[in-house]
Structure formats: C-alpha cells, structure tokens
Amino acid sequence: MIVIFYNDKPVYLAKSPLQSEDSAAFHIDKTDVITALKLLESENYRSICLYGFREEILLRKLQKNLKFIEAAGGVVLNDAGEILFIYRFDRWDLPKGKIEKGESASAGALREVREECGIVYIEQIRELEKTYHIYKLDEVYVLKTTYWFLMHAAGEQELIPQVEEAITKVKWVAESALGSVLKDTYANIRMLIANFNKSTTR
C-alpha cells in the first residue's frame, strides 16, 4: 500500500477498499480524483482510499490526473547522530527540492542539501523510501514524489540557511529533542523519520 498525504491527511492507494467511519473509498476508474481529494478539505473526513489495481498502477493513474513533479532530499546525520532540519513556512522540514532536468535523484538530493543548508562535505550512504504528497498551487493539484537519501556530514561545518528559499533556520536535532520538532512538521516527514528510526533499531 502507498500512502500519499494531502492537507496532512492520508490518501491510501490499495488493491482493495479500506473504509472506516471517517474515511471514504473510491474505485479510481469510477470517480473523479479531484472530487475525492476535496473531501479531505473538510473536517468530516480524515482519509480516503483509491483502489482497484496494484498500487504501482494506481500511482501511475493518479500521476495522469494531477500535475506531477519529482523532488529529492536528505536525512542528514552528523558525527553525533543528530538529524539536520530546516525551518521554512513556520514548520520544521528536511532539506529537499525539485530535481532539475537531466539530473539524477541522488545528485539532486546532494545539491539541495548543500544549497539549503550551506554544508559542503556530505557523504551519501544509501537510498531511503520515497514519500508522496499532494498540494494545491494556483488551484492546480500537484502530486510530488520525493526521493530520500541517508547522508552523513563529517566534522563541524557552518550551517547557512538559504533565505531566498524562505529558510530561516538550519539546525542539528538530537534524538532527545526530536519529539518537539516532529510535532511541528508535516505528516510525510513524521512517517519518514519513524520508518528510518525503526530500520536503525532492528
């Protein structure tokens, strides 16, 4: 199952319908996707499910219904095991950005981390899971897929927020302070960090 977030509420892509009291399920070929998404703009629904095919096929169908862009970013650790966060639009976030034409996801992730945080010396360790979220831009629904990479930044490097991208703070966050930061971030970032922490404690 693939989970996409819209308004910090989950849109589940599943072969069979998932339903609950505050959710609704729609066969992707028998509904207008935009109409289904608009349900999540109300307080009456906490999630929706789009079903009918394997999740990969559902995702491709959704990409045809919405404007689709790809981004890449990093879960960056320092020598102390702290995670690098940026503060933008009144929320904590991880460094990420749109992949440029002809650029690979891994190269884009490194470039975005360097540009947004000012650090130079980064080692890319491995690819993590992808996250998906939907947002509206000038009344157009956009589906963004973000490729994430685990990275390591060695030594003490100066952190410089990219103010032209509305980033006002960059800081390392220790595990003991992670809870307060995650309360003030996006649902897909919380899911990514939770899954990352699970994978490192196995």
pLDDT digits (tens, 9 = 90+) for 71-104: 999 999 999 999 999 999 999 999 999 999 999 9
Q: Which of 62-76, 108-122, 171-185, 188-202 has the lowest mean pLDDT?
A: 188-202
User: Which tokens go with 41?
Assistant: 């703009």
Summarize the confidence of residues 109-126 as an average pLDDT.
97
195 shares a domain with 101: yes
| Coil, strand or helix at 128 | strand
pLDDT > 90: what percent of the chain? 92
Q: pTM of the full predicted structure?
A: 0.94
Q: Which helix (H) or strand (E) holds 19?
A: none
Higher pLDDT, 167 or 198: 167
**Within this chain, do residues 44 and 123 fall inside the same structural domain, yes or no?**
no
For residue 58, the enclosing domain spans: 2-65
- Residue 190: CATH number of its domain: 3.90.79.10
Please give the DSSP secondary-structure letter assigned to residue 35. H
200: left (phi over 0), alpha (psi -120 to 50) or beta: alpha
pLDDT at 202 over 70: no
Q: Are residues 118 and 41 in the same domain?
A: no
Work out whether strand 83-88 and strand 91-93 pair parallel, antiparallel, or are unpaired: antiparallel
DSSP state of 2: E
Whether residues 58 and 76 fall in one domain? no
Do 87 and 176 lie in one domain? The reply is: yes
